[in-house]
Amino acid sequence: MNSFLIFLETHSGQLKKSSLELLSWTQAQEGETNCVIFGSPAVDVSVLSAYGVKKCFQFKNTAFDLYQSELYLESLKGLCAEIKPTTVLASASSLTKDLFPMLAVHQNSSLASDVTQIQLQNGKLEVKKPFLAGKVVATLQMARQPQMALVRPNQITWVTGQKNSSPTVLVEKQKPDVKLLAEVKSVIRSSQSKLDLTEASVVVSGGRGLKDAKNFSLLEPLALVLGATLGASRAVVDAGWVPHNMQVGQTGKTVAPALYIAVGISGAIQHLAGMSGSKYIVAINNDPNAPIFQKASYGIVGDLFEILPLLTQEFKKVLEG
Ligand X SMILES: Cc1cc2nc3c(=O)[nH]c(=O)nc-3n(C[C@H](O)[C@H](O)[C@H](O)COP(=O)(O)OP(=O)(O)OC[C@H]3O[C@@H](n4cnc5c(N)ncnc54)[C@H](O)[C@@H]3O)c2cc1C
CA–CA–CA angle 174, 177, 179 (5° rounding): 145
Q: Which of 44, 183, 303, 314 binds ligand X (CB under 6 A)?
A: 303
1 binds other proteins (CB under 8 A): no
The residues in 118-137 that bind other proteins, with binding defined as CB under 8 A, are 126, 129-137
Min dist. Cβ of residue 293 to other proteins (A): 7
Task: For ligand X, give the closer residue by CB, 154 or 276.
Answer: 276
- How many whole angstroms separate alpha carbon 70 and alpha carbon 195? 26
Task: For ligand X, give the closer residue by CB, 27 or 250.
Answer: 250
Q: Which of 43, 71, 255, 265 binds ligand X (CB under 6 A)?
A: 265
Q: Where does 202-319 show beta strands of DSSP type E?
A: 202-206, 229-232, 259-263, 280-285, 298-301
202 binds other proteins (CB under 8 A): yes
Q: Return the range that interacts with other proteins (CB under 8 A); candidates 78-86, 167-175, 210-218, 254-262.
A: 254-262
Classify strands 14-15 and 124-131 as parallel, antiparallel or unpaired. Answer: unpaired
- How many whole angstroms separate alpha carbon 317 and alpha carbon 168? 43
311 binds other proteins (CB under 8 A): yes
Which partner from the list other proteins, ligand X, none does 139 bind, CB cut-off 5 to 8 Å by kind? other proteins
Name the residue type at position 245.
N
Min dist. Cβ of residue 301 to other proteins (A): 7
The residues in 94-123 that bind ligand X, with binding defined as CB under 6 A, are none
Q: Return the range that interacts with ligand X (CB under 6 A); candidates 63-71, 90-98, 117-125, 243-251.
A: 243-251
Q: Which of 168, 201, 250, 278 binds ligand X (CB under 6 A)?
A: 250
Q: If you write DSSP's letter for every residue of 153-168 in order, what string do you get? A: TTSSPP-------PPP
Residues paired with 62 in a beta bridge: none
209 binds ligand X (CB under 6 A): yes
Q: Which of 68, 266, 276, 312 binds ligand X (CB under 6 A)?
A: 266
197 binds ligand X (CB under 6 A): no
What are the distances in angstroms from CA 12 to CA 15, 39, 42, 137?
8, 12, 11, 34
Under a CB-based contact definition with an 8 Å cutoff, are residues 35 and 3 in contact?
no
**DSSP label at residue 26:** H
Min dist. Cβ of residue 68 to ligand X (A): 31
Q: If you write DSSP's letter for every residue of 256-287 in order, what string do you get? A: --SEEEEES----HHHHHHHTT-SEEEEEES-
Binding residues for ligand X, rule: CB under 6 A, are: 207-209, 233-236, 247-252, 264-266, 268, 270-271, 274, 284-287, 290, 303-305
